[in-house]
Amino acid sequence: MNEQKFDYIVVGGGTAGATVAKILSDNRKNSVLLLEAGEDNDNDQPITNSTFAPVLQNLFFPQYFWQGEGVPQEELNNRTFRWTTGRLLGGASSVNRQLWVRPTDAVISKWEELLGPLWAPQAVIERFKALEKYNGQTDNPEARGFNGRVDVRQAPVEPTVMAQKLALAIEQATGFEQILDYNNPDTPIGPFTRNQYTQHPDGTRESSSTAFLTPDVVDNEGFGVNGRKLRVLTKTTALRIIFCGETARGVSYLKNGKPCEVFANKKVIVSAGIKSPSLLMRSGIGPADELINAGIDVVKDNPNVGQHMANHSIIPVVFSTNPNDPATPPNDPNAHLIAGAFLPDPATGSNPTLRAVQLEPFFSNNTLIVGVSPIQPKSRGTVEIQSSDPLKIELGDEEFLDNPDDLRLLMDTFTIYIKNIATALSNIDPQYQLLSPTMDIINNPVRLEAFIRQNLGLAFHEESTLRMARSEADGVTNFRGEVFGVENLVVADNSIIPFTADGNTSAPAYLIGFTIAHQLLREDECEKECKCGVEILKLRFSTPTRGSMNQPS
């Protein structure tokens, strides 16, 4: 192919990547290329129809996902899990359960302490307000956005009897009052009867693709409209970042079976999600010994690449139900989750204002299944590459329960929260009975531990493999996502999260893409002002030409 040049190249059209591409191209002087390995599946029924959301990852539609399997988990009886995420425009936001959960001020304050005011809680709230178009109830409208591009729907309008019974049972069992809006920074803890979904008002799916790559932004052929210099290439797999010395100059990619190259005048932005660390490693950034063993020339030795991985897990708790209680409202099947809760660590002496456990209830096979998810795990995993072959899957190892504190939290959650919730729920309605794990298992520490190890599953919330830090001694990128030790390379996705988000991870991905894209636009503006200032100074202090009568003012 003839040499191609764009100001910015964005690798990955997922939650953050599509956001970045649209925002950068808002400046009509910027030319932006967005590379996505998957296809545009926005109109496919399993994607648009929100009733598919609870089962998309379980059914594992191969046309929408990366195909892979993780490393056997030693603490989970050597069971393996899918190593995957969305492989289509919108990425994970096109195949997830659609939950919109902002990280709390408690977590973001840790980001600010480490990284500075760009990540201060109030600044983050303002960006969420700019992102979201909230359609629901709240007791703090000043903290919610109503004019953004991401449709967020609180549903159902009228909670089902099942949801009301479950929320009441959680309230009685834990002592935490029901809350109206869990994304209100003032009410992060408690049970609730309505979830918040990335859905349009009619209940169809909202993704970063449907929010940011809309017809007013890009046409059906992938070309920007209305003067926008945006090009979107699907079915295009990034192979590696092209470096000249320690400066990122472009991207090598595979299109229609042919290797191609494209070059960036300004920056290469990596927004490939779980694929981001392996892309950096294949490009020469990572642990030097690992790269050399894989036959890769080292551009920058950084042993933190692919380390510090956090991931949420989930364990199903099964209840029988009252057959007269509908799981979802007959007029709103898109409200597919049944109530929910964010709870603190139940251990004595824990901070009651910090989220530690999330309950995600849904209905399946005539049973109520409450997913128990520890959302501040201490165990950390890794991502490694096997060779220089860019098409060979990387090795993802979550190392679940590697830190004993995680097992302790789960044991306490079952023996305190789940046990008491089951009792309260059966007192409200005797037809709701705990089926799995049984009370006998919960009351037996040995059997309960075995149950946890055998039933803990994956939540697909990989974070922090290229974490932001103050220096390369502790991370891979700085507070603006710029990769330490090289030039013109930025990472913008959940891999740069410095401290684990205490909830679902779609909202943080939007936040990161939005924040870093606007930082790049400000950098553009600063460079423009600096150049203008230099030109003025040159003009002001230049020697007048012969015949000139006046100095420039």
Say whether the peptide bond before residue 437 is cis (omega within 30 degrees of 0).
yes
Do the bridges between strand 340-343 and strand 357-364 make them parallel or antiparallel, or are there none, so unpaired?
antiparallel
Nearest of 513, 385, 497 to residue 93 by alpha carbon? 513
SS3 428: helix
- What pLDDT is stored for residue 262 in this prediction? 97
Residues 188 and 375: beta-carbon distance below 8 Å = no
Helix spans in 4-137 (H): 15-26, 45-48, 56-59, 105-115, 121-131
Confidence of residue 58 (pLDDT cuts 50, 70, 90): confident
Sign of CA dihedral 150, 156, 162, 168: positive
| Res. 232: pLDDT tops 50 | yes
Whether 8 has a pLDDT exceeding 50, the answer reads yes
Residue 543 reports pLDDT greater than 70: no
Residues forming beta bridges with residue 371, ordered by sequence position: 316, 360
496 closest CA partner among 459, 520, 463, 471: 463
Q: Is residue 155 within 8 Å of residue 195, measured between CB atoms?
A: yes
What is the average per-residue pLDDT within 475-491?
A: 98
Give pLDDT, residue 239: 97
- CB of 306 closer than 8 Å to CB of 281: yes
Q: How many CA atoms lie within 13 A of 288 on its CB side?
A: 4
Task: List Cα–Cα distances, 4 to 261, 309, 489, 523, in angstroms.
Answer: 7, 35, 18, 23
Q: Where are the domains of the chain?
A: 1-135+206-310+381-395+462-553, 157-193+313-374+402-455
How far is 410 from 375, CA to CA, in rounded Å? 11
| Cα(494)–Cα(502) distance, integer angstroms | 13
Whether the per-residue pLDDT at 192 is higher than 90: the answer is yes
Query: How far is the C-alpha of 281 from the C-alpha of 300, rounded, in Å?
Result: 9
**pLDDT at residue number 534:** 53
Establish how many alpha carbons lie within 13 A of residue 466's alpha carbon, considering only the half-sphere containing its beta carbon.
30
Residue 56's pLDDT band (cuts 50, 70, 90) = confident
Residue 3: its pLDDT value, please? 60
**Residue tagged 């990280």 (tokens):** 103
> What's the residue count for the chain?
553
Q: Radius of gyration (Cα) for the chain, nearest Å?
A: 25
For the chain, the 3-state helix, strand and coil shares in percent, each to the nearest 5, are 30, 25, 45
Contact indicator for 304, 467 with CB cutoff of 8 Å: yes
pLDDT digits (tens, 9 = 90+) for 109-155: 999 999 999 999 999 999 999 999 999 999 999 999 999 999 999 99
**What amino acid is encoded at 447 in this protein?**
R
Q: How far is CA 379 from the centre of its chain?
A: 19
How confident is the model at residue 62, as a pLDDT? Answer: 85
Residue 110 has which token pair? 């840790």
The DSSP bridge pattern shows strands 395-397 and 489-491 to be: unpaired
Asked whether residue 533 carries a pLDDT value surpassing 80, the answer given is no
- Give whole-number Cα distances, 268 to 31, 307, 472, in Å: 12, 22, 19
- 380-425 residue pLDDT tens: 999 999 999 988 999 999 999 999 999 999 999 999 999 999 999 9
Q: What would the mean pLDDT of 180-188 be, rounded to a whole number?
A: 98
The span from the CA of 151 to the CA of 210, in Å, is 10
pLDDT, mean of residues 274-301: 97
The DSSP bridge partners found for residue 241 are: 251
Q: Which whole-number Å values give the CA distances from 422 to 192, 318, 363, 435, in the listed order?
A: 17, 10, 16, 10
Residue 422: closest CA among 320, 311, 305:
320
| DSSP-assigned letters across all residues of 71-90 | --BGGGTTB--B---B-BTT
Is pLDDT of 183 > 60? yes
CB neighbours of residue 20 within 10 Å: 33
Q: Are 181 and 139 in contact (CB under 8 A)?
A: yes
Q: Give the SS3 label for residue 141.
A: helix
Residue 373's DSSP bridge partners are 358
Contact in structure between 41 and 65 (CB atoms under 8 Å): no
Per-residue pLDDT band at 431 (split at 50, 70, 90):
very high
Q: What pLDDT is recorded for position 553? A: 30
Q: Is the pLDDT of residue 550 over 90?
A: no
Residues 233 and 454: beta-carbon distance below 8 Å: no
Domain boundaries 1-135+206-310+381-395+462-553, corresponding CATH code: 3.50.50.60
- pLDDT at site 529: 65
Query: Which two structure tokens, joined as six digits, stand for 225?
Result: 């409209």
> What is the rounded CA–CA span in Å between residue 464 and residue 457?
20
Pair 253, 35: CB distance under 8 Å:
yes
26: CB partners within 8 A, 6+ apart: 228, 521
Is pLDDT at 213 greater than 80 in this prediction? yes
CA dist 142 and 185 (Å) reads: 10
Alpha carbon dihedral 226, 230, 236, 240, in 10-degree steps, equals 180
Assess contact for 362 and 337: CB atoms under 8 A: yes
> Which run of H or of E encompasses 101?
none
The string of pLDDT tens digits covering residues 296-341 is: 999 999 999 999 999 999 999 999 999 999 999 999 999 999 999 9
Model pLDDT, residue 535: 55
Q: Which residues contact 435 (CB under 8 A, 6 or more apart)?
A: 318, 319, 320, 367
